Amino acid sequence: METVGIVGVGAMGSALLERLRLAHVEPVVYDIDRDALERAQGAGAEAAASAAAVARAATIVDVVVRTDDDVLACTLGERGVLEGAQPGALVLLHSTILPQTTRSVAEAAAARGVHVIDACMLGVPDAVRRGDLTFVVGGPADLVERARPHLLSMAKAVRHVGPLGAGNVAKLIRNLTSGAETLVLHEALRLAEAGGIPYVQALEMLRETQGASVLNGWQRTFDSTGASPTPRVGRNVMAKDIPLARELAHRFGIDLPIIEQLAAAGLRLAEAQTETRG
């Protein structure tokens, strides 16, 4: 029977704590933020004096802190997780961090007989509380299977995406694509307003007329055999329309650096595919 500890009970950690308590799991918790720790205690959690104390009381430790430096400090630092973790314990790194950071922690942990995998979270706190969280996990299959029941007590799905660090990469590309959409929309709306279209009207037009996401039918654009990630594109959008949007921005006298880069990248891609076909 696994016993559970959580290091970090801020926005995401407190949401995970709620899901665990709904599953009748009572973890030991710690946070350097005294207010966060007191709120967790108020919700019924048992508080520990340090990350090391959490690890001494648990066979599975969820690390839910924000940055690479935070992860290194709370795992490898003084009174950190590895100071208290017993041989055979499993540490789950949930933070959005570099895979190199995960591997550094795992290497230090292995010297103590402690296991580490990355189990990154696709979801915001409200989604976690609703039970709509998905974990993308990197690490050896046996450790992922060991962690799976625990992760499913907090989430609707667990996707094992590859070796140690692959969960970190999966989370970063997910956030990259969603963040890029927002940035592109921002520049598109500036272009719309320069052309006399109020941005709210432009957003509604895009919502109502935009075709399905490329991801909904990605096999039409990307090679499903795995031979190459290069997309199959037509010349109109890549070689003509995006460059025309760039030209329009120039004529309006507005600086849209993402559209500049997209136009250049689209032209390169279209030209490369023309040469390949030719």
pTM: 0.92
pLDDT at 132 over 80: yes
Q: What is the mean pLDDT of residues 123-145?
A: 97
Quick one: which of 114, 113, 92 has its CA closest to 167? 92
Quick one: which of 60, 71, 62 has its CA closest to 96? 71
Kindly give, in sequence order, each residue whose CB lies less than 8 Å from that of residue 244, ignoring residues fewer than 6 positions away.
Answer: none
Can you name the CATH fold of 4-165?
A: Rossmann fold (3.40.50)
Kindly give, in sequence order, each residue whose CB lies less than 8 Å from that of residue 13, ignoring residues fewer than 6 positions away.
Answer: 6, 7, 29, 31, 36, 40, 62, 64
- Alpha-carbon span 178 to 168, nearest angstrom: 16
pLDDT digits (tens, 9 = 90+) for 164-211: 999 999 999 999 999 999 999 999 999 999 999 999 999 999 999 987
H/E element, 265 = helix 257-277
CATH 1.10.1040 assigned to domain 171-277? The reply is yes
What residue ranges do the domains of the chain occupy? 4-165, 171-277
pLDDT digits (tens, 9 = 90+) for 224-240: 999 999 998 877 889 89
Kindly give, in sequence order, each residue whose CB lies less than 8 Å from that of residue 222, ignoring residues fewer than 6 positions away.
Answer: 229, 231, 232
